[in-house]
Copies of this chain bind each other. A is one copy, B any other.
Amino acid sequence: MSEDRRLDVLRAIVEDYVATKEPVGSRALVERHSLGVSPATIRNDMAALEEGGYIAQPHTSAGRVPTDKGYRLFVDQLSTVKPLSSPERRAIGTFLETAQDLDDVVDRAVRLIAQLTQQVAVVQYPSLRRSALRHVELVPVGLRHLLVVLITDTGRVEQRTLELGTDLDESVVARLRTRLNVSAAGRRLSELPVALGELTDGFAPADQVLVNAVVAVVEETLAQESEERVVLAGTANLARVGSTDVRSIGPVLEALEEQVVLLRLFSEMAEDHAAVAVRIGRETQHDGLVETSFVTTGYGDEGGGSVARIGSIGPLRMDYPGTMSAVRAVARYLTRILAQ
């Protein structure tokens, strides 16, 4: 029994099942693929594949369906990259280039992936932690409120309003602003707390309350991982006819609303930034997502600075090569755009 052919059979099963959404039998397989052998032979191969846990039958006397393990093998070894058509590439480029600001770019990118993959697209906002601080701005608002604005080199802006116990002294604010920027300019956010610690020196004791409050806010903002926002698009694709079992979309929607879940997945998949990572079924480690797969890749690494991820969530029986190339293509354009 040829080992190669067995893998061919697995590939054929995955492809047919993805295309038809129905369990695939031995006869259909030899008809649609030129395997050069008879159905009976295929049946033997299928028995072996089932033995190995790569395929399963929903019920006796039904065709075979790939298991998580089968999809995994397919993704790792059997699938070939499916390049996008050049009109598609062009559309991606122009669509992203005409965006207005960071929010707009991210929004368009995620819609684009939803559109291309016909699945749910997810994008993680550029992470504060890994990006560098470009500027800190302090803006007095009224007498007793101070707006703290942090600007990162990815163009992201974070703001916090600070309520003070005493009235503001504009000159102190100005001095603090200057010193903050001297300490902060170009630093990674993770390196900042150290630099900020020394800052209180050189201010009058009366003003140190203000200084400490501002420093605290800056640190707190940076520490706040919850600021790692994710944005979704294409949730309606979950309900498309022929998608996953319609009943199962409830848990999926719940999972998608839990930003924590998505952020955990993103971070777990971040090992190799540039590569396209895939989590299949139970590999997601989340009950609501056992019947889905998640395809992600990193974007925005140019200049070594900020890093985040973008991806697509779809049914187990998704078009893996297509999804992977769509995600990768959008991520590349996104990276290019963000580099300005």
Contacts and interface: CB of A to CB of B under 8 A. Distances in A.
Interface of A: 100-101, 134-135, 137, 139, 141, 147, 149, 151, 155, 157, 159-161, 233-236, 238-241, 246-247, 249-251, 253-254, 256-257
Given A139-B151, A141-B151, A236-B257, 8 more contacts: A100-B160, A101-B161, A134-B141, A135-B141, A139-B149, A239-B247, A239-B253, A241-B250
Contacts of A160: 100-101
A239 to B, nearest CB: 3
Copies in the complex: 2
A256 B257 CA distance: 14
Give the top 8 A-B pairs by smallest Cβ distance, nearest first. Answer: A239-B250, A236-B253, A236-B254, A157-B159, A239-B249, A235-B253, A246-B246, A137-B139
A137 B235 CA distance: 37
Contact of A246 (B134, B139, B247): B247
A257 B236 CA distance: 8
A233 B253 contact: no
A149 B161 contact: no
Given A149-B149, A157-B159, A250 B240 contact: yes
A149 B155 CA distance: 12
Nearest to A253: B236
Contact of A101 (B100, B141, B159): B159
18 contacts: A100-B160, A134-B141, A135-B139, A135-B147, A137-B137, A137-B139, A139-B149, A139-B151, A147-B151, A233-B257, A235-B235, A236-B254, A239-B249, A239-B250, A239-B253, A241-B250, A246-B247, A249-B249
A161 B149 CA distance: 14
A239 B239 CA distance: 10
A38 to B, nearest CB: 42
A159 to B, nearest CB: 5
A181 to B, nearest CB: 10
Contacts of A149: 137, 139, 149, 157
A137 B159 CA distance: 13
Given A157-B159, A160-B101, A246-B246, A257 B234 contact: yes
A95 to B, nearest CB: 16
A238 B253 contact: yes
